[in-house]
Amino acid sequence: MERDISKTYQSPLASRYTSPEMNYNFSDQKKFSTWRKLWLYLAQAEKELGLPITDAQLEEMAAHLDDVDLAAAAEHERRVRHDVMAHVHTFAAACPQAAGVIHLGATSCFVGDNTDLLVLRDGLDILLPRLARCLQRLAAFAERHAALPTLGFTHLQPAQLTTVGKRACLWLQDLLQDEAALRQLRSQLRFRGVKGTTGTQASFLQLFDGDHNKVQRLDRRVTELAGFSSCYTICGQTYPRKVDVQVVQALAALGATAHKMCTDIRLLASMKELEEPFEKSQIGSSAMPYKRNPMRSERCCALARHLMTLPSNALQTAATQWMERTLDDSANRRITLSEAFLSADGVLMTLQNICEGLVVYPRVIERHVQQELPFMAAENIIMAMVKEGADRQECHEQLRVLSQAAGDRVKQEGLDNDLVSRLRQSDYFAPVHARLDSLLDPASFTGRAEQQVSQFLSEEVAPVLSLYQGQLEGSAELKI
């Protein structure tokens, strides 16, 4: 009976938020065709080292790597209650000549764990260029707005001015750390290799009549055929589950970066200083037609929040692997690893889309700056008056009185900050009337922000982007 998909739960990670590439990476087709490739690699290496395996058997296996009969495998698994043996039987049925050499000397983790490592590697290969595209788009945004003064915020209260580009560099810096962590993990991934049931290689030593050198060569050759440069010298039945911890924690850290950045964007959107892309026909609210909700940033935060919960699963799994292994990791890892990568994929696709269409409203930003700048300029005004011969303490008191009156006007009456006009009307501050405009120039309050942006982009961002030449093209289109 054919299953009605409309009445079957499907993960929204796969159906709504993620790319075809990442979905395929965790698909049954990818998994089971990889198992068959690993059986072929094993048989090929065993033949090269002298076992009685024929070219015809290898050719038969190679001809059936992708035509996996999932229905037959499911029926075998229902009967034998073992997924790997179910697929051994299914592959053997497709390759009758090679049936006797499939899985020769191996344990289930030869295909299971080695495939997981290939999937982790390929998943990182999908994510890293996507992350680099976010870096490039955000770097271009930072460069465009490197000199645009804006209110800085500490404790979400107005603070010393920064620039829009400098703030974007704070987001970039976090993303750079995530890129470095994921790239390092990718470079350090090792293959489990050919290790046998408890990692001792006893079955392979028996196959090769006690020849330790051939067993070592077998391990290296299968590792090479799988595209890895090295494998574990020591392992139990599985590769170390600490690897899962490291990968999932790095992905969760990326989630934290995206959550922080997108929260900032949501706050700035509320102030009408900055907006994520908003399409011409997009609806912000079913009830309020004027709404321009930051749905992309909210989606990033939602997916990131789920992603950040996953390291605890990986940690607990690593902590409870008794002796050489237990099987209580299996169901958990099927969920945790796939959801970590799918969540990260959805976050980066959405983040790239945001970075490609960020909109800045300079006049709104300028208005907010002007509302706060007179108060921030107090010290500059005092110093200018002192240079003209004024007493600092008296000047401070004069400025305090005017500032409090201007503050009451803002807070009590909801009117604009009129401190500057009060200063212009004050005879006491006449010595600096001609200099007030320069003393209140927002650009004079941003320090080296513009220069820091330029230095950061050239010295830290550009070298990383150079690693991804030819992989930075293409825009991110969201399905929903």
For the chain, the three-class secondary structure string (H helix, E strand, C coil) is CCCCHHHCCCCHHHHHHCCHHHHHHCCHHHHHHHHHHHHHHHHHHHHHCCCCCCHHHHHHHHCCCCCCCHHHHHHHHHHHCCHHHHHHHHHHHHCCCCHHHCCCCCCHHHHHHHHHHHHHHHHHHHHHHHHHHHHHHHHHHHHHCCCCEEEEEECCEEEEEEEHHHHHHHHHHHHHHHHHHHHHHHHHCCECCCCCCCCCCHHHHHHCCCCHHHHHHHHHHHHHHCCCCCECCCCCCCCCCHHHHHHHHHHHHHHHHHHHHHHHHHHHHHCCCEECCCCCCCCCCCCCCCCCCCHHHHHHHHHHHHHHHCHHHHHHHHHCCCCCCCHHHHHHHHHHHHHHHHHHHHHHHHHHHHHCCCEECHHHHHHHHHHHHHHHCHHHHHHHHHHCCCCHHHHHHHHHHHHHHHHHHHHHHCCCCCHHHHHHHCCCCHHHHHHHHHHCCHHHHCCCHHHHHHHHHHHHHHHHHHHHCCCCCCCCCCCC
Domain spanning 108-279+290-364: CATH 1.10.760.10: no
- Report how far residue 306's alpha carbon sits from residue 104's, in angstroms, rounded to the nearest whole number: 41
The per-residue pLDDT for range 88-145, each reduced to its tens digit, is 999 999 999 999 999 998 999 999 999 999 999 999 999 999 999 999 999 999 999 9
Q: Please report, for the chain, the start and end positions of each structural domain, with discontinuous segments joined by +.
A: 26-101, 108-279+290-364, 378-439
Measured from the Cβ of residue 76, the count of other Cβ atoms closer than 10 Å reads 20
The per-residue pLDDT for range 24-50, each reduced to its tens digit, is 999 999 999 999 999 999 999 999 999
Closest to 264 measured CA to CA, from 300, 291, 288, 305: 300
pTM: 0.89
- Report how far residue 470's alpha carbon sits from residue 217's, in angstroms, rounded to the nearest whole number: 36
Contact (Cβ atoms closer than 8 angstroms) between residue 174 and residue 261: yes
Measured from the Cβ of residue 373, the count of other Cβ atoms closer than 10 Å reads 22
Report, as residue numbers or ranges, the catalytic residues.
Answer: 155, 285
Per-residue pLDDT at 275 exceeds 90: yes
Looking at 152-161, 175-184, 190-199, 280-289, which range is the least confident one?
280-289
- Report how far residue 157's alpha carbon sits from residue 424's, in angstroms, rounded to the nearest whole number: 27
pLDDT score recorded for residue 374: 81
- Report how far residue 17's alpha carbon sits from residue 348's, in angstroms, rounded to the nearest whole number: 10
Cα of 86 vs its chain's centroid, Å:
36
Contact (Cβ atoms closer than 8 angstroms) between residue 369 and residue 149: yes
- Report how far residue 67's alpha carbon sits from residue 76's, in angstroms, rounded to the nearest whole number: 16
pLDDT score recorded for residue 397: 92
pLDDT score recorded for residue 441: 87
Give the tokens for residue 372. Answer: 């706060």
Residues with Cβ within 8 Å of residue 333, at least 6 apart in sequence: 116, 244, 317
- Report how far residue 257's alpha carbon sits from residue 457's, in angstroms, rounded to the nearest whole number: 18
Confidence of residue 279 (pLDDT cuts 50, 70, 90): low
Confidence of residue 289 (pLDDT cuts 50, 70, 90): very low
Residues with Cβ within 8 Å of residue 246, at least 6 apart in sequence: 185
Per-residue pLDDT at 430 exceeds 50: yes
- Report how far residue 123's alpha carbon sits from residue 293's, in angstroms, rounded to the nearest whole number: 31
User: Domain 378-439 - what CATH class?
Assistant: mainly alpha
Amino acid (one-letter) located at 401 = V
pLDDT score recorded for residue 340: 97
* Bridge partners of residue 359, in order along the sequence: 275
For the segment(s) 26-101, the CATH number from 2.60.120.280, 1.10.3720.10, 1.10.275.10, 3.40.640.10 is 1.10.275.10
pLDDT score recorded for residue 286: 46
Per-residue pLDDT at 247 exceeds 80: yes
Give the tokens for residue 117. Answer: 């490592």
Amino acid (one-letter) located at 453 = V
pLDDT score recorded for residue 293: 84
Mean pLDDT of 202-212: 94
What is the residue-averaged pLDDT of the chain?
A: 91
